[in-house]
Every structure is written in structure tokens, then in C-alpha cells.
Amino acid sequence: MNFANWMENIMKKIKWYDVKLAQIAAIFATLCVITLWPAFLELVLKVEWYWYFILAFIFGMRWIKIMFFK
């Protein structure tokens, strides 16, 4: 079984709430890194807000396309 087939089998098992749980886990992992590594906090605070918005839009484009345009 190659990697693509393996991933497709896993994606069939994912429920709607699994995506939200992964997002919440990512938020808490980021908060943990910010707490444990002060240099990361300084880096995060130095970046302008619109860069985060642009990156969120770029990484969310596929979801937006799937939800509203297919």
C-alpha cells in the first residue's frame, strides 16, 4: 500500500469533529511553545497581524473552495 492510499483510508475514518479537535490541539501546542520558549513569543509579536491573516487565507483556501464552490 502506498502513502496516498494509506492517507485516503485514514481520511475516510475522520469525522467532522476531528478537524475541530485538531485545531484546538494546535492552539494549545502553540500556547505551550510560546510559554516554554520566550524567543518564540518575541518572534510572534514582531510579525504584523496581516501576515497571519494572509497565511490563514492561503491555508484555508482549499476548505473554502470545497465548502462553497463544489
Model confidence pLDDT, tens digit, residues 8-23: 888 888 888 888 999 9
Q: Write out the chain's pLDDT in tens, 70 residues.
A: 698 888 888 888 888 888 899 999 999 999 999 999 989 889 889 999 999 999 999 998 988 888 888 6
Query: How far is residue 33 CA from its own chain's centroid?
Result: 15
For 1-70, where are the E strands, in sequence order? none
* Cβ burial, residue 66 (10 Å; 0-12/13-18/19+): exposed
**pLDDT computed for residue 16 by the predictor:** 84
C-alpha cell at 26: 494546535
Identify the helix (H) or strand (E) that includes residue 54. helix 49-69
Distance CA 55, CA 17 (A): 23
